Amino acid sequence: MRSLRGEFRLIPLPGSRTLLEGSTWYQLEMGPQAYWSIWSDLLVHRIHRRVLRHIQAEVEREVTGARSDSAFHPASIRR
């Protein structure tokens, strides 16, 4: 698996909220691709989720001035 490109986009939402969306483009050179694409998609999704959780915690800590233990909302992650 080779990562070709990645990006995070900030999308304005109503109510002074923002959606952070992550995307990754990669090339899978393992066979059978139908099998390995399931695992590579899962891996990329978990990496995105970890990064988004970290960003959420940092932003909430900065806004509130305290450590954030709020639940993460997986609906904010798109594959």
Q: Parse the chain into domains and list their residue ranges.
A: 2-76
CB 68 within 8 A of CB 57: yes
Q: How confident is the model at residue 66 (pLDDT cuts 50, 70, 90)?
A: low
Question: In whole angstroms, what is the distance from residue 28 CA to residue 37 CA?
Answer: 7
Q: How confident is the model at residue 20 (pLDDT cuts 50, 70, 90)?
A: confident
pTM of the model: 0.62
Question: In whole angstroms, what is the distance from residue 56 CA to residue 68 CA?
Answer: 9
* 31-64 per-position pLDDT tens digit: 898 899 999 999 988 988 898 889 888 888 888 8
